Chain A
Amino acid sequence: MANRITLNMITQRSIEEGVAMEKGKTTPEYFEACSIIEMHDDDVRTLGLVPNQLVKVTSECGTVIVKVVKGRQSLYPGLAFIPQGVWANQIVPPRTQATGEPQYSGFPVTVEPANGERRKSALELVQGAVGMWRGDQ
């Protein structure tokens, strides 16, 4: 067991994210669809995680707390997936290789158990980042 591991992160669409996004980004559905991470079973075991445990994911430019779920679509060991959306974009590096496109897929992250920390809502993350979060209204 390790306290933290380094994985290769990809962030892309999931249909759950698509449906929830159209329903509204402040809905519980969007929260549950997007504030998750999928990893290979070997990596989950390496970290000694139990299903639905929260983890802290850190990239070169940010940190986000998400929930470990077992996805339908399998990854190989070393690869991790967060659906595109507010949580993924807390850690997506804005570097573009001079094309305009951020590094949405294929950037290193460290994953570790999130001790005592909680998942934040979409509004808290985005408004918080720009100094507009005023607590749960």
Chain B
Amino acid sequence: MPKKVENVGCPYCGVCCDDLVVTVSDDGKKILEVENACAIGNEIFHHATRGKRIQLPRLRQPDGTYKDISYDEAIDYAAKVLYNAKKPLIYGFGSTNCEGMAAAAKVAERAGAVLDNCASICHGSSFLAIFDNGYPSCTLGETKNRADVIVYWGANPAHAHPRHMSRYSIFPRGFFTGKGHKSRKIIVIDPRHTDTAQVADIYLQVKQGHDYDLFNAFRTALRGHEIPAEVAGIKREQILEVAEIMKKARFGTIFYGMGLCHSDGRNHNVDIAISMTRDLNDFTKWTIMAMRGHYNITGPGAVWSWQFGYPYCLDLTKKDIAYMNPGETSSIDLAMRDEVDAFINIGTDAGAHFPIEAVKHLRKHPWITIDPNICMASEISDLHIPVGIVGVEVPGIVYRMDNVPIQYRKVIDPPEGVLSDEEVFERIFKRLGELEAEEAAKGPAKAVPQGIRAEE
């Protein structure tokens, strides 16, 4: 009999849906059906057992092809690359569990590396604004149960967080919101008339890159001052109408996304969004929340803040002193200034998602990819170490976009012999310790790893 596993967490986006039902074949090797997931989550589960998976680490050969090697050899190679590099960068963590993040942080500290996560190119601006201005936020449950006005600003959950609207914001019937979407006002502010805008009561087509102006106009209007006839492409009457709706809400939540973080202004856009939320609290209860992208990209912020005091862009090159300065210690800036001499891509795909100029710089040095799948990063690496898929084959703790930790489970075993991210980093950590001991025993000469480019 195929087995149904209930209450499964989804390893796709920051909504962390935990109501999936996954049907697994009799032998426990194949995923047959996934219920409740969105199109993307569905694909992640089916992809795990649909085709052939990489089961052994692969090392780049002088002719450009990959050769299968053992995990022991791969761990040794990775440890030696880290050991020999002056300033290695370990980046990614959008798609792994907190256990893997903690283990990687141990490695980064021992190796004297820079440790960074995908927030660096995503909600890093939010961190900067939150440091400066606080974070009047709430949990998604509070939004579901209390909110009668929802604002999506520069966010398109219909595409990026497909079940966010049905689980938490627009449609669900909560404790004090029994009429569901009928009793909620939805305001969408975006330069594109997105699929999210289709379900809005009010849509404001803000001029791209002028979000700050519009926030400023709202703040001015909320304080009862005059505003110009048009701001950022939006008419005064519409601004006043929306300001009035926000003031009269019982409970409101502003969900914002990459429209603010990726445009001109970056953290300043988020900063003024937080200020507007604070202003609104003079009238009624308002909260704000970053639409965090991947299911556990909130995780490294929580784990590393606990370990080192900083959530991202962590410079551990002095080993026992943690230092953070985005713009200086952030992955893209380090890459563009050629300041790192080895790169570990873990649980992300920098090959596809970094601007290509940054990829070119990083590729001048040894590049190691730790990922379950073939991706752009794995296809330009010196070494690709396959791992089990968290949430499908590996259990662990993840943090939802509202900083709520959730224990994820596994529904099948990983392919035979394939390790987890945590196991890979624990073994690299151990090997680094051995290399340090060997060096201490024989003097100042440095170990040289096997394989091409390793001499660098």
Give residues in A with beta carbon < 8 Å to B.
8, 10, 12-15, 18-19, 21-26, 61-62, 72-76, 79, 81, 84-86, 89-90, 92-94, 96-106, 122-123, 125-127, 129-130, 132, 134
CB distance from A78 to the nearest CB of B (A): 9
Q: List the A residue with the shortest CB-CB distance to B155.
A: A12
Structural contact, B355 and A61, CB atoms closer than 8 A:
yes
Max chain A C-beta neighbours (<10 A), residue from B44, B205, B258, B359 = B258
Q: Are B124 and A102 in contact (CB under 8 A)?
A: no
Residue of B nearest to A102 (CB): B355
Cα separation A7 to B259 with both chains bound (whole Å): 17
B263–A105 touching, CB < 8 Å: yes
Looking at the complex, which of B27-35, B167-175, B374-382 is the stretch in contact with chain A?
B374-382
Can you pick out 18 interface pairs between chain A and chain B where the beta carbons lie within 8 Å of each other? A21-B352, A25-B349, A73-B192, A75-B192, A79-B208, A89-B355, A89-B356, A90-B356, A96-B330, A96-B332, A97-B265, A101-B261, A102-B355, A105-B262, A126-B352, A126-B379, A130-B363, A132-B380
Q: Judging by beta carbons under 8 Å apart, are B353 and A100 in contact?
A: no
B380 touches A101 (CB 8 A): no
Q: Which of A61, A73, A105 contacts B193 (CB 8 A)?
A: A73
Residues of A within 8 A of B358 (CB): 94, 102
Interface pair A24/B262, CB less than 8 Å apart: no
Q: List B residues 239-260 near A (Cβ within 8 Å).
A: 258-259
Interface residues of B (CB under 8 A from A): 12, 39-40, 43-44, 47, 64, 120-122, 124-125, 128, 156, 158-160, 162, 191-195, 197, 205, 208-209, 258-259, 261-267, 313, 326-327, 330-333, 335-336, 349, 351-360, 363, 373-376, 379-380
List, in ascending order, chain A residues with CB within 8 A of B121's CB: 100-102, 104
Contact of B333 with A100 in the complex, beta carbons under 8 Å: yes
Which of chain B's residues have a CB closer than 8 A to the CB of A14?
Answer: 159
> Which B-chain residue is minimally distant from A104 (CB atoms)?
B262
In the complex the two chains form, is A12's CB within 8 Å of B156's CB?
Answer: yes
Q: Is the CB of B352 within 8 A of A15?
A: no
Looking across the interface, which residue of chain B has its beta carbon closest to that of A78? B208
Q: Are A129 and B360 in contact (CB under 8 A)?
A: yes
Task: Tell whether A106 pairs with B264 under 8 Å between CB atoms, given A13-B159, A89-B355.
Answer: yes
Contact (Cβ within 8 A) A23 B47: yes
B124 and A100 contact, CB distance less than 8 A: yes
* Alpha-carbon distance A111/B354, docked complex (angstroms): 22
Kindly list chain B residues whose C-beta atoms are within 8 Å of the C-beta of A103: 262, 264
Give the complex CA separation of A86 and B269 in angstroms.
Answer: 27
Q: Are B376 and A19 in contact (CB under 8 A)?
A: no
* Contacting residues, chain A, for B64 (C-beta < 8 A): 132, 134
Q: Closest B residue to A20 by CB, please name it.
A: B43
Chain A residues with Cβ below 8 Å from B162 are 15
Asked whether, in the complex, the Cβ of B376 is within 8 Å of the Cβ of A86, the reply is: yes
Measured CA separation A78–B386 after assembly (Å): 43
Could you say which residues of chain A place their CB within 8 Å of the CB of B195? 72-73
Count of inter-chain pairs, beta carbons less than 8 A = 178
Residues of A within 8 A of B333 (CB): 96, 98, 100
Nearest 9 pairs of A and B residues by beta carbon: A100-B330, A98-B327, A104-B262, A130-B363, A105-B262, A22-B43, A94-B355, A18-B40, A15-B159
**A130 adjacent to B359 (CB under 8 Å):** yes
Given contacts A18-B40, A105-B263, contact A100 B327 (CB under 8 A): yes
Say whether B376 contacts A25, CB under 8 Å. Answer: yes
Q: Which residues of A contact B380 (CB under 8 A)?
A: 126-127, 130, 132
Provided the pairs A14-B159, A102-B355, A129-B359 are in contact, do residues A94 and B336 lie with their beta carbons within 8 angstroms?
Answer: yes
Chain A CB count within 10 A is highest, among B262, B313, B363, for B262
Q: Return the chain A residue nearest B376 by Cβ.
A: A126
Contact B258 A105 (CB under 8 A): yes
Q: Please measure, in the bound complex, the distance between the C-alpha atom of A74 and the C-alpha atom of B156, giving whole angstroms.
A: 13
Cβ of A22 and Cβ of B47 under 8 Å apart? yes
- What is the bound-complex CA distance between A89 and B356, given in angstroms? 6
Question: A109 CA to B22 CA in the complex, in Å?
Answer: 45
- In the complex, what residues of B have CB within 8 A of residue A24's CB? 47, 373-374
B375: chain A residues at CB < 8 Å are 25
Query: Is there contact, CB below 8 Å, between B379 and A123?
Result: yes
| Residue from the list A23, A92, A98 in contact with B43, Cβ < 8 A | A23
Given A94-B332, A100-B333, A101-B121, A15-B357 contact (CB < 8 Å): no
For B12, B191, B360, the residue with the greatest tally of chain A CB atoms inside 10 Å of its CB is B191
Contact between chains at B332 and A102 (CB < 8 Å): yes
Contact yes or no, B43 A101, CB < 8 A: no
Contact of A100 (CB < 8 Å), options: B12, B39, B326, B355: B326
Q: Is the CB of A74 within 8 A of B192?
A: yes
Complex Cα–Cα for A134 and B205 (A)? 45
Contacts of A93 in B (CB 8 A): 355
Q: What's the least CB distance linking A44 to chain B, in Å? A: 16
Give the docked Cα–Cα distance between A13 and B195 (Å).
Answer: 12
A15 CA / B41 CA spacing, docked (Å): 11
Cα of A84 to Cα of B293 in the assembled complex, Å: 13
Given A15-B159, A79-B191, A100-B331, CB of A126 within 8 Å of CB of B356 = yes
Tell me, in angstroms, the Cα distance from A84 to B160 when the chains sit together: 11
Residues of A within 8 A of B125 (CB): 99, 101
Cβ A106 vs Cβ B263 within 8 A = yes
Decide: A10 and B192 in contact? CB cutoff 8 A: yes
**Choice from A22, A102, A106, A123 contacting B376 with Cβ under 8 Å:** A123
